[in-house]
């Protein structure tokens, strides 16, 4: 089976800091992959490369067989136009740590902004679908609320609905619960769990080891820009093989 | 601790006391002085050589009314030009391209660094530099015919305003969180779409109070265009007093009109601010 996302020998350096070193990873259709590791381990950079918010220095990412960000021609890589990159981005939804809802728009307007403005879908259809998505994340009664009137957990659920409205092939989550008060984490994880059950392909950077254990098909542990260990959630989290993984898990649990 | 204890431990019972009103003698004195000075100024003007009947007569004279309409037309058009230039220059300044960046910086430097009245005179006398202007082979005209007082005033005021507005706009663009650009990109927006739909509406909230300030300044700066014969309200007033010598009366007429226009603009700005504050701060709507 061909992977939906194929990451090959990806490297990225920020000045002196090597964020990613020759990272390769596959994500298959309907798979939930959790990226864990300390801050600075490169997991967020890897995620942002998939959505081309960060451009890697070398290596490549293929989504459904299509190389992201570049066109290969005569043994050289040519940067794609902004329009092409925008089109490729439609295939992945992105959920940010700090939600990044548009504060001047209501929850409903946030969700239909992409479908109407970018995908040029009819406003009425987009609205119906947006309402269905709001029901799905349990916020049908908040359609007319502005982000400032919502709790952090509610904002993040709207942000998930906004990502889903584009009908993406996969959804990227960048530490979706790290900015939330502890009592609000559960409602967001519940929505993500439901999404995983529905068969959505998900790549999740997270510190929630409980969520990873319960929902992830595969857990990838990163440290200092490399993938140290990767495998089924139960194996990596319960019986890690690498010493670094063991140390990280012991520190997280302890 | 109850009341009986409070008395028992030696402290006096203050629960029945009221707080006495303070005298504030200093404040009374200052207020009285100011009122006396204001009355003196008012009396001086009432007794001074001002023929108030002239003020009343010329306040609604057709020439003056046409002048204030011209003032408003010029202020609105120059502001529109200034905002358009300001947005473009602000975006250029934030561009990573060094040419765009330095051209934008140079524009702001040049037009902020020279007096507005000098710029107006330069535009008006452009014919001295370029006797004919146009696009080679397509169209050309004598500069004296093209560079009317109206066009010279519009270019002078608008381009000067653009230099100031660009700085206001730049501050507005920088005030929007980088996460908003990323969220816009993540739903597949182009840079222009993100700017128009997401970034500028949020920047407007920050930008409107200083822009309102700039516009009020511009309304009064149009009076400088009187030196290049643009028939705005001060120019009209001057023309009348050249004929009838009622200098102060006509200057008061023009002054009253400026005050009226500025007084109307302030509530308009409040309305705009409310429009762009949607969703922000104290609970939205």
* Test the B interface: residue of A82, A85, A101, A104 with most B CBs within 10 Å: A104
Contact predicate A188/A208, CB 8 Å: no
Lookup: tokens for B119 = 């710029």
**Considering chain A, what is the average pLDDT of its residues?**
94
State pLDDT tens for residues B260-285. 999 999 899 888 888 888 776 544 43
**Higher local confidence (pLDDT), B126 or B79:** B79
Number of neighbouring beta carbons within 10 Å of residue B245: 9
Nearest CA in chain A to B199: A102
**Residues β-bridged to residue B78:** none
Contact of A147 with chain B, judged by CB distance below 8 Å, is answered with yes
State pLDDT tens for residues A18-37. 999 999 999 999 999 999 99
Contact of B98 with chain A, judged by CB distance below 8 Å, is answered with no
Contacts of B198 in chain A (CB under 8 A): 102
Burial pattern B2-16, b for ≥16 Cβ within 10 A else e, equals eeeeeeeeeeeeeee
* pLDDT of the residue at B282: 47
Contacts of A104 in chain B (CB under 8 A): 201-202, 205, 276, 278-280
Given a cut of 80, whether residue A67 has pLDDT beyond it is: yes
Residue B5 pLDDT class (50, 70, 90 cuts): low
Contact of B284 with chain A, judged by CB distance below 8 Å, is answered with yes
**Higher local confidence (pLDDT), A73 or A143:** A143
Lookup: tokens for A204 = 């999740």
What gap in Å lies between CA A99 and CA A160, rounded to an integer? 9
Contacts of B175 in chain A (CB under 8 A): none
Out of B179, B189, B278, closest to residue A98 by CB: B179
User: Nearest CA to CA, how far is B174 from chain A (Å)?
Assistant: 16
User: Nearest CA to CA, how far is A50 from chain B (Å)?
Assistant: 11
Out of B183, B198, B285, closest to residue A96 by CB: B183
Residue B11 pLDDT class (50, 70, 90 cuts): confident
**Residues β-bridged to residue A92:** A170
Q: What is the CA B9 to chain-centroid distance, rounded?
A: 65
Contact of A162 with chain B, judged by CB distance below 8 Å, is answered with yes
Contact of A105 with chain B, judged by CB distance below 8 Å, is answered with yes
What gap in Å lies between CA B65 and CA B232, rounded to an integer? 9
CB contact under 8 A, A104 and B202: yes
State pLDDT tens for residues B106-119. 999 999 999 999 99
Residue B131 pLDDT class (50, 70, 90 cuts): confident
Contacts (Cβ under 8 Å, ≥6 apart) of B120: B152, B153, B156, B157, B224, B225, B227, B228
Given a cut of 50, whether residue A237 has pLDDT beyond it is: yes
Given a cut of 70, whether residue A188 has pLDDT beyond it is: yes
* pLDDT of the residue at A12: 96
Burial pattern A172-186, b for ≥16 Cβ within 10 A else e, equals bbbbbbeebeeebbe
What gap in Å lies between CA A120 and CA B222, rounded to an integer? 44
Contacts of A89 in chain B (CB under 8 A): 185-188
Contact predicate B211/B168, CB 8 Å: yes
A-B CB pairs within 8 A amount to 83
Residue B13 pLDDT class (50, 70, 90 cuts): confident
The pTM of the full predicted model, rounded to 2 decimals, is: 0.81
What gap in Å lies between CA B37 and CA B48, rounded to an integer? 16
Q: What ipTM was reported for this prediction?
A: 0.92
Burial pattern A215-254, b for ≥16 Cβ within 10 A else e, equals bbebbbbbbebbbbbbbebeebbeebeeebbeebbeeeee
Q: Taking Cα atoms as reference points, which of B179, B183, B191 lies closest to residue A81?
A: B191
Lookup: tokens for B258 = 């400026």
Contact of A106 with chain B, judged by CB distance below 8 Å, is answered with yes
Contact of A142 with chain B, judged by CB distance below 8 Å, is answered with no
User: Average pLDDT in the B198-223 region?
Assistant: 93
CB contact under 8 A, A94 and B179: no
CA B103 vs CA A253, B61, B107, B162: distances in Å: 56, 46, 6, 14
Lookup: tokens for B269 = 């700005």
State pLDDT tens for residues B57-66. 999 999 999 9
Number of neighbouring beta carbons within 10 Å of residue A66: 9
User: Average pLDDT in the B86-98 region?
Assistant: 92
User: Nearest CA to CA, how far is B197 from chain A (Å)?
Assistant: 9
Contacts (Cβ under 8 Å, ≥6 apart) of B130: B143
Out of B177, B182, B191, closest to residue A82 by CB: B191
What's phi and psi for A21, nearest 5 deg? -125, 105
* pLDDT of the residue at B281: 55
Q: What percent of chain A has pLDDT over 70?
A: 100
């Amino acid at each position: 089976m061909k992977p939906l996302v194929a990451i090959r020998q990806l490297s990225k350096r920020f000045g002196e800091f090597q964020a990613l070193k020759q990272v390769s990873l596959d994500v298959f259709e309907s798979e939930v992959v959790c990226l864990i590791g300390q801050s600075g381990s490169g997991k967020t950079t890897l995620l942002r490369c998939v959505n081309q918010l960060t451009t890697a220095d070398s290596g490549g990412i293929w989504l459904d067989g299509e190389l992201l960000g570049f066109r290969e021609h005569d043994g050289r890589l040519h940067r794609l136009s902004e329009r092409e990159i925008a089109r490729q981005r439609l295939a992945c939804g992105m959920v940010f740590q700090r939600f990044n809802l548009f504060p001047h728009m209501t929850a409903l307007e946030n969700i239909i902004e992409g479908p109407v403005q970018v995908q040029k879908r009819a406003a009425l259809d987009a609205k119906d679908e947006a309402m269905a998505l709001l029901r799905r994340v349990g916020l049908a009664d908040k359609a007319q609320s502005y982000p400032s009137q919502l709790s952090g957990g509610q904002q993040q659920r709207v942000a998930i609905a906004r990502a889903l409205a584009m009908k993406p092939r996969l959804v990227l989550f960048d530490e979706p619960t790290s900015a939330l008060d502890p009592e609000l984490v559960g409602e967001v994880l519940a929505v993500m769990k439901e999404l995983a059950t529905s068969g959505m392909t998900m790549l999740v950077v997270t510190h929630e080891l409980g969520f990873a254990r319960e929902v992830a098909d595969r857990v990838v542990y990163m440290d200092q820009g490399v993938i140290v260990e990767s495998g089924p959630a139960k194996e990596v989290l319960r019986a890690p093989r690498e010493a670094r993984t063991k140390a990280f898990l012991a520190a997280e649990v302890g | 601790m109850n009341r009986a204890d409070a008395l028992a431990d030696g402290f006096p019972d203050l629960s029945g006391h009221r707080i006495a009103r303070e005298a504030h003698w200093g404040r009374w004195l200052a207020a009285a002085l100011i009122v006396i000075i204001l009355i003196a100024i008012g009396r001086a003007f009432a007794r001074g050589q001002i023929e108030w009947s002239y003020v009343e007569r010329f306040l609604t004279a057709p020439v003056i009314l046409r002048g204030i309409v011209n003032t408003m037309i010029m202020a609105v058009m120059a502001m529109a030009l200034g905002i358009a230039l300001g947005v473009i220059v602000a975006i250029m300044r934030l561009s990573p391209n060094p040419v765009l960046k330095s051209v934008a910086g140079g524009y702001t430097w040049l037009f902020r660094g020279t007096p507005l009245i000098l710029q107006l005179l330069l535009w008006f006398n452009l014919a001295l530099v370029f006797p004919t202007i146009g696009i080679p082979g397509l169209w050309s005209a004598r500069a004296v015919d093209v560079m009317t007082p109206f066009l010279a005033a519009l270019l002078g005021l608008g381009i000067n305003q653009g230099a100031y507005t660009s700085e206001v706009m730049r501050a507005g663009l920088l005030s929007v969180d980088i996460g908003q650009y990323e969220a816009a990109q993540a739903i597949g927006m182009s840079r222009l779409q993100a700017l128009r739909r997401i970034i500028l509406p949020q920047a407007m909230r920050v930008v409107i109070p200083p822009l309102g300030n700039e516009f009020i300044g511009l309304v009064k700066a149009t009076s400088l265009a009187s030196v290049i014969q643009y028939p705005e309200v001060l120019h009209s007033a001057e023309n009348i007093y050249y004929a009838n010598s009622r200098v102060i009366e006509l200057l008061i007429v023009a002054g009253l009109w400026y005050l009226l226009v500025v007084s109307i603009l302030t509530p308009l700005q409040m309305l705009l601010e409310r429009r762009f504050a949607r969703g922000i701060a104290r609970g939205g709507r």
